[in-house]
Structure 1
Amino acid sequence: MSTILVTGGTGNLGALVVGRLRDRGHEVRALSRSSAAYPVDLRDGGGLDAAMAGAQVVVHCASSPRGGDDVAAGHLIAAARRAGTVTNLVYISIVGVDVVPFGYYRTKLRVERMLEDSGLGVTILRTTQFHDLVAEVTASMAKLPLVPVVPLPKGVPVQPIAVEEVADRLAELAVPDPAGRVADMGGPEVRTLEEWGRAYLAAVGSRRRVAGVPLAGRTYAAFRRGGILAPDRAAGRITFGEYLERRERGTGRP
């Protein structure tokens, strides 16, 4: 079995990937700043060389919408080169990073290109938005003070996917042989963010009304055109409704 390093190994996606790989018998090193065994700070590369020693596969799940993913990737690539044992660096990206001019997406695309130009063996998987993100966006907007409705961007189609299905796919790809850019992965249904928001509010027992708010700019236009969709790659099976049912029952994830 391979020795596999997972960045963001205690996060929403990374922790699931770690569990699946350990279930398959791999030695897995879960990296995070708070890890007792492998404390790593990707912002400056601290601790990376020790964690990378002898690893054959790296699954890069760590990410921050606040910025710095390209800096972190630079440190990760440099450490993998120094280790000399890494044959496959698996990266989770987002559908639409090449067509939606959103700052976070542009950084994700930059990381993809850094990996492709690194000289290392790489595997890149792009997926649509997670169910969790749709729920979190709606919940956040519902908390706005002195706002009688829940405002969401108007007419933006979203194809949410279950994070556990993405974890399954990453575990499949975490093998010594790199696969390059693999097929995108999307959820089973496409609805507008407003529709998903109404479904979330109904599931949590809220009677608040969703209001679609038109926005300006190229980024919003790209979202409205379906830039974050992969309708021909609807590989996910768990619907948003099923996700909400599990969430409300508190049964967790498989």
Structure 2
Amino acid sequence: MADKFAIITGASTGIGFELATLAAKNGYDILVVADEPLIDAAAADFKQFGTQVSSVMADLSTIQGVDQLLDAANGRRVDLLCANAGHGLGHAFLDQPVKDWRHVVDTNIVGTAYLLQRVLKDMVARDDGKVLVTGSIAGYIPGAFQAVYNGTKAFVDSFVAAIQNEIKESKGVTITNLMPGPVETEFFARGDMLDTSVGANPNKSDPADVAKDGWDALMAGKASIVSGWKNKIQAATANVTPNAVLAEQHRKMAEPGSAD
């Protein structure tokens, strides 16, 4: 058993898979979670690095799912948390079934906030621990045809900055917000966005590169990191661009059929 223990959510594919790989490579015992059976196959892959690996399939859009994850830790101290689980959803808001957009809100906001509250309480009490949250530069942009997802990431980006301030006296605890742009993962297929300009774009970021950016920022104790130089520019210009202009720009990327 290693002397370091990490929990990584959304670890079956994409950024979460790469973060779990980095944690295991860096000597952490890991507990990985996703809402699909593929998480067990991912866990088997992580075992090659020689640390203890356990997996759980849980729905982190629910309080019960988060509790199920934390129960699987068997009371072990969490030294590192990568709160990466998230869901996207394309198409016009008025066309989205309530259960679909509600699942995005419950996963990206409710589940994330509850998980952080549970884990951070113990970290702050002992003044030791690291947390990486996967936010997004989407939080800076009104997301026409991806309105709910971008809204949830606006919450995450703001929430993390606020909690960083609230616990600033706990010098041994750091929270880092990883903010990528579009990444080559199953996000766009799951969000039914493959017929959009952004979904079909072959030049999306590599999840391994994004995870490495986040990991390095986490280990350095940075408050936030925008992954990718193009995304850094987009995030900076979003602060001085009118919302109506940003929404129209996003529409051109995310409107169904825009890939044609």
TM-score by length of 2: 0.58
CA contact (8 A) 2:130 2:218 kept: yes
| CA drift at 1:104 | 0.5
Q: In the alignment, is the contact (CA less than 8 A) between 2:213 and 2:225 conserved in 1?
A: no
Query: Does the Cα contact within 8 Å between 1:59 and 1:174 map onto a contact in 2?
Result: no
Distance 1:78 1:31 in 2: 18
**Aligned position for 1:83:** 122
- Residue 59 of structure 1: aligned partner: 82
2:136 to 94, 108, 112: 94
More helix by share: 2
1:167 is matched with which residue: 211, 223, 229? 211
Q: CA deviation at 1:170?
A: 2.6
Which residue in the other structure is 2:228 paired with? Answer: 185
Instruction: Give the 3-state SS of the residue equivalent to 1:122 in structure 2.
Output: strand
Q: Which runs of 5+ in 1 are unaligned?
A: 142-151, 189-216, 227-254
Confirm whether residue 32 of structure 1 aligns to residue 74 of structure 2.
no
CA contact (8 A) 2:10 2:84 kept: yes
RMSD (Å) for aligned C-alpha atoms: 3.7
Cα drift, residue 13 of structure 1: 2.0
The 3-state SS of whatever aligns with 1:28 is strand
| Greater displacement, 178-187 / 20-29 | 178-187
Aligned to 1:115: 160
Indicate which of 84, 97, 105 corresponds to 2:150. Answer: 105
How far off is 1:16 after superposition? 1.9
Taking structure 1 as reference, are residues 95 and 133 closer, same or farther at Cα in structure 2, changes over 3 Å only?
farther
Give the CA deviation at 1:63.
0.3
1:38 and 1:47 in contact (8 A); partners too: no
Contact 1:97 1:105 in 2 (8 A): yes
Q: 1:181 to 1:222 in 2, by over 3 A?
A: same
TM-score, L = length of structure 1: 0.59
Q: Which residue in 2 is equivalent to 1:199?
A: none
Whether the 8 Å CA contact 2:217–2:224 is kept in 1: the answer is: no
Q: Greater Rg, structure 1 or structure 2?
A: 1
- Equivalent position of 2:258 in the other structure: none
Where does residue 223 of structure 1 map in the other structure?
A: 250
Q: 1:159 and 1:140, CA in 2 relative to 1: closer, same or farther beyond 3 A?
A: closer
Q: 1:221 to 1:41 in 2, by over 3 A?
A: same
- 8 Å CA contact 1:95, 1:127 repeated in 2: yes
Q: Which of these residues, 41, 49, 55, is aligned with residue 59 of structure 2?
A: 41
Paired letter, 2:179: R
Q: What is the rounded CA distance, in whole Å, between the counterparts of 1:78 and 1:186 in structure 2?
A: 32
Indicate yes or no: 2:111 matched with 1:72. Answer: yes
- Are the aligned partners of 1:123 and 1:182 in contact in 2 as well (CA < 8 Å)? yes
Q: Percent identity?
A: 11
**Inter-CA distance 159–96: structure 2 relative to 1 (3 Å threshold):** farther
Q: Contact 1:3–1:57 at 8 Å: present in 2 too? A: yes
Distance 1:132 1:187 in 2: 18
3-state DSSP of counterpart to 1:13: helix
CA distance in 2, matches of 1:32, 1:224: 30
